[in-house]
Amino acid sequence: MKRRTRPAGTEPTSGPLRRSLPLLLQTLLVAALALPAGFAVAPAFLGPRTPASAEHTVPPWHQVPGALTPDGTVDGVETLSATAPLPVPAALAAQLNETLKTDGAGSFTGVVQDAATGEVLFDRSGDAARVPASNMKLLTAAAALSTLGPDHRFSTRAVAGTAPGSVVLTGGGDVLLGAGESVPGAVLGRAGLASLAQATVRALQDDGVSVPVTVLLDDSLFTGPALNPAWSLEDVAAGEVAPLFPLALNSARYDPAQTTGPRPQDAAMTAAEAFSAELAAAAATAGLTVAPGVARIPAGTADGAEPDTGAARVLAEVKSATVGQQVDLMLRTSDNYLTEVIGRLAAVAAGKPASNDGAVAVVLQQLEELGIPAGTLRAADVSGLALANQVSARQLADVVRAITSGADTRLRAALPGFPVAGLTGTLGDRYLDAASARGAGLVRAKTGTLNTVISLSGYVVDADGRLLVFSFIGNGLTPGAANKAALDRTASVLAACGCR
């Protein structure tokens, strides 16, 4: 069963407007990526002042911004006016009903809200439970940021085993490990197994180890089935997801540059074997040898635990990118594997089992704590790959509003991850035709695509300077029909609408 029409995170294809407006879109991208830093205070959206030469009919928040300042903000930005007029619901509905039409079978539901007040401006069966596809990741992002916090990092450790010379590679949740040396400025590959191996050899030298070194693997952090039974085996075979482990290279990809195709079915062992190879290379320069092969420690054992403390002695460790950075990558590329892992790690932080059930439970709990009723929500996973998920457009719009304007400012860390229309992530090759060009560079939204399902939930500033949040979900659609274009046109209406 085909789930995507293009690889997540690949470069957008060319289009008629890309050829005519490349410089404008690139400049808008600078603004789009810089503006989220200003979301710390509700309504928490920034827009640039109008240059003296600009047309007065173009709103200042839709102007091409000035240069970046040394601190990374946009030169000359100021907060939007809190007195900006709201769209009139009837006028808004008249425009949205013209664009929110299916191509073939199925139907769309949708909700548009004012971000500052929560007032519902458009509601088409907004409380109806629908299959959300990857819009489910918005719920997981909010849960992870509110439980783990945006600055949290995960450790991958090499600890001393009980046998002389034994080293236990212990997974702490980082599935974005790199095979080489650590790259501090990166998200994928910030923690490198080569750096971990080199530090481990130095620790072994300090301990006076002279016997051959043996490598063991402890990947016991997660519990329950590594594969969710709600997932299609065809999706697993295609590499949309894979068995989940608390450590992996490249988000369980063979090659960091390849984001499609089959994944390793034992990502933890793949990482452990890469570590063993790096350890052997580092050990050779120190006059040590590493025995071939890696053995997995059975779950429930504690090889290397100190008798007095019960904790293993750490020889070396490397730390991941922050949760905020990982959430951004997760949303921008719509990576199912990374999302499911982050869900399990959020469950651990909330004192729940590190399983699919625990991940689902923490997502539902965090929604309730954000004041978003979750009684009608049904979750079979936390990435949106399962067709058994049921979420309403209102619940998704409420989550976006919590991220942009809610009281818990930790959720603001998710904002840079929203794909930008026509520019980044899973929206990079959309909004390139005349019908949706008004939203290019302005609409920021999470996409969702399954065979008969599409969804789009995000935020945009309208032509009057009002920050709006929205969610549109299509179910029962004709596979391959032009329904993404309908959602893009609809979100573009919001960007251009004064609607009075």
Pairing of strands 213-218, 166-170: parallel
Which value, in Å, is the radius of gyration of the alpha carbons in the chain? 24
**Cβ proximity of 47 and 465 under 8 Å:** yes
Q: Is the domain of 262 the same as that of 352? A: no
Q: Are 61 and 80 in contact (CB under 8 A)?
A: yes
In this structure, the number of other CB atoms found within 10 A of the CB of residue 221 comes to 19
Identity of the amino acid at 467? L
Single out the residue of 176, 196, 184 nearest to residue 253, CA to CA.
Answer: 176
Q: Is residue 191 part of a domain?
A: yes
263 and 347 inside one domain: no
Q: What is the pLDDT of residue 257?
A: 92
Residues 227 and 413: their CA atoms lie apart, in Å, by 29
349 and 492 together in one domain: yes
| Same-domain status, 69 and 167 | no
Of 301, 321, 341, the last residue of a domain is 321
Domain of 47, CATH number, reads: 3.40.710.10
**Nearest-angstrom CA–CA distance, 57 and 260:** 45
Domain total in the chain: 2
Residues with catalytic function: 134, 137, 334
CB 326 within 8 A of CB 126: no
Q: Name the stretches of the chain with pLDDT < 70.
A: 1-81, 299-311
Question: Are 306 and 398 contained in the same domain?
Answer: no
What does the block give as tokens for 285?
């320069």
Say whether the peptide bond before residue 416 is cis (omega within 30 degrees of 0).
no
Same domain for 264 and 212, yes or no, is yes
Same domain, 85 and 171: no
- Full DSSP string of 137-157: HHHHHHHHHHHT-TT---EEE
DSSP H helix total and E strand total for the chain: 12, 12
- For the CA atoms of 356, 417, 463, 113, the dihedral, rounded to the nearest 10 degrees, stands at 20
366 and 316 within one domain: no
Which pLDDT score is estimated for 79?
A: 55
**Burial class (CB within 10 angstroms; exposed 0-12, middle 13-18, buried 19+) of 50:** middle
Residue 296 neighbours by CB distance under 10 Å = 14
Domain termination site, one of 297, 321, 345: 321
Q: Are residues 344 and 454 in the same domain?
A: yes
- Residue 188: alpha-carbon gap to chain centroid: 13
Q: Which residues constitute the domain of residue 227?
A: 155-321
Q: How far apart are CA 272 and CA 281, in angstroms?
A: 14
Q: Are residues 316 and 185 in the same domain?
A: yes
Amino acid identity, position 139: L
Strands (E), 72-180: 77-79, 107-114, 120-124, 155-160, 166-170
Instruction: Judge whether 278 lies within some domain.
Output: yes
Domain membership of residue 374 (yes or no) is: yes
Query: Are 114 and 166 in a shared domain?
Result: no
Strand 120-124, strand 107-114: pairing: antiparallel
- Express each pLDDT in 347-378 by its tens digit: 999 999 999 999 999 999 999 999 999 999 99
The closest alpha carbon to 142, from 345, 411, 365, 360, belongs to: 411
pLDDT at 59 (0 to 100): 54
The answer on 393 and 300 residing in a single domain is no
Q: Give the full edge-to-edge strand order of the sheet including 155-160.
A: 290-296, 213-218, 166-170, 155-160, 314-319
Residue 469 lies in a domain: yes
Give the end of a domain, one of 321, 347, 374: 321
Place of tokens 């920050």: 467
Q: What is the pLDDT of residue 298?
A: 82
Q: Give a yes or no: residue 73 inside a domain.
A: yes
Read off the tokens for 272: 């452990």
